Structure 1
Amino acid sequence: MGKASSGKRAAKAGGTRDHTVPQMYLKHFAQHVARRKYELKVRRLDKINKPFTVTPTGIAAETGYYWGISAEGVPHHHVEELFTSLEGHAETVLKVLLTDPDWALTPHWPLSPDQRHVLAWWMAAQILRTTRQRKRLTHQQTEAPDITDLPQEVHTLAQNNPHLRYIVENIVTLALILEARPWALGFSDMCLLTSDTPIAIWNRPDDEDQLRAAALSDILLPLDPHRFLFLPGPATRGTDRRKHVDHLMHAEGAIGFALVEVAYDVADQFVIHHPEHDPWKHWKPNSPGQPKPWDGQTHAAPQYILEYGVFPPSQNIERRWTMEHPPPRSPDDLHL
């Protein structure tokens, strides 16, 4: 990517067009409609009932998002190239998880230590790079200096510097925290969505100490319309020894709805789903989401508690259920 992106850098324009959510990740929620053409359904939170179609390249991108030099002297393009490298390695692991020809839950689970290491680093980057993370950091700067009179290039640098510094300072420790935790690979009967905040740190999405939050909270990463990674926190693991190591889970019924709700609640500006796997066919948001103090929101934060059973490693779910949906139940069935 280094040579390809360097030609796009334009200091006068304030930098490149940078993606805040990886395109390769979004493609797993996209419909392949033609050669090299993928489409997503996007719903902006302020117009939630007006979905529109977009390509993975046309969403979650901002000009000059990583522009600037961190306090450690790391140029923006080095951070961008780090993300690109992480994405390339992570895509190989995601293919292992999502492309088995027969089964929804890959027989190659648990992942190898090297594969877990790759995915943990990539997940750490996704937690740290989001627009929600940047707004949280900016909001904490209660005594930020007045930079309104500075030139636009310097203004952008000053705004981006804290976020770049935060990423550089925390990505190694966060990756180690994630790697050390038990992971569950799951299948959801309910169609899943993702957002511009693809990884949900349950109950603590905007905690001032994000490393502590990642160590103590349940963590959800939707992988495609029906698969996800779930990292149970200490309270959710409890005394169930099966949850203290990597395992499988099947999100049936209300659990699937809860996963959609959690993913929705942490979105910053919009949510994303597959055009043919639309959660809105069975679900509607029933909470105001996690409050955004930077937008003046003061409502109580929703809290989640999840109880689930470990899916037997000797069983699996046919891959076709990642693409097909059972027919709607009759009214008589609903009363059983």
Structure 2
Amino acid sequence: MPSGLAALLDDVAAIAKLAAASIDDVGAAAGRAGMKAAGVVVDDTAVTPRYVTGFTPDRELPIIARIAKGSIRNKLLIILPVALALSALLPWAITPLLMLGGAYLCYEGAEKVWEALSGAKHDLAEEAAELNSPEHESRMVSGAVRTDFILSAEIMAIALAEVASEPFLTRALILAVVAVAITIGVYGAVGLIVKMDDIGLRLAARREGAARALGRGLVHAMPKLMAGLSTIGIAAMIWVGGGIIVHGLETFGMTAVAHVIHDLAAGAGHALPAVGGTVEWIVGAAGAGIVGLAIGAPIVAVHHKLAHRH
């Protein structure tokens, strides 16, 4: 009996070691998959702050929390099972679906550009009242969750491609880890960004010279930074949407646009070797952005034409 118990304990220890190794493998694979999707994660972080711009400080974190909850639901309850099912049954359908999502991002970004260029003026009192209304908050959260859905689908597709050779259950676990980790990372960073002015106020209230100076600097800089992030967020929607479509076309053998953007970016990078990587990325993003505007602008025009008919 003791020997049997000892054997059982040995078996349990072996299973525990195997489970620990599997968890380590999942964690490592999730880390690799997350790194592959890092570019879209950065874009997601840039896009989100624009959805809380203009709200009172007490509503900023609750709004971010609502968007984060929508994001995790998107990833775990919709995107993860659909991605696994499509990868097993209809792998060819993933790219066209991502391209449709990319077209929506192009449309949404182009719509914001049109609003800015059209110079539509709003009554400030009415605008302030609208910003503080529950209806407007719900609309902004819904819009943010829709945009997040497309960016999350792109992130999960990139992660899925990285772990495509893993067994089904392992793939599911890795994608779940990626989904949770990226959501926490993105919305934790967004929360920190939008509350930096409050942190600055607290630092500015201290008597210490360095902390006080840093706090005042943050208080003065954050409104400009938030305005800049709002603009970057709109641009990110356009270049990410355009990039998704360019990569999708490349997948289907239509490589001309991708080659032109790549060659222009590479040429610009070689022309300025000291900052070659940065210049190459900027030119590549600009090329994807031009494609995004070329796709989004006609959709906006058709949408407005149909809206005026009704």
TM-score (norm. length: structure 2): 0.28
Superposition TM-score, scaled by structure 1 size:
0.27
More strand by percentage = 1
Structure having the higher helix fraction is 2
Q: Which has the higher contact order (CA 8 A, sep 6+)?
A: 2
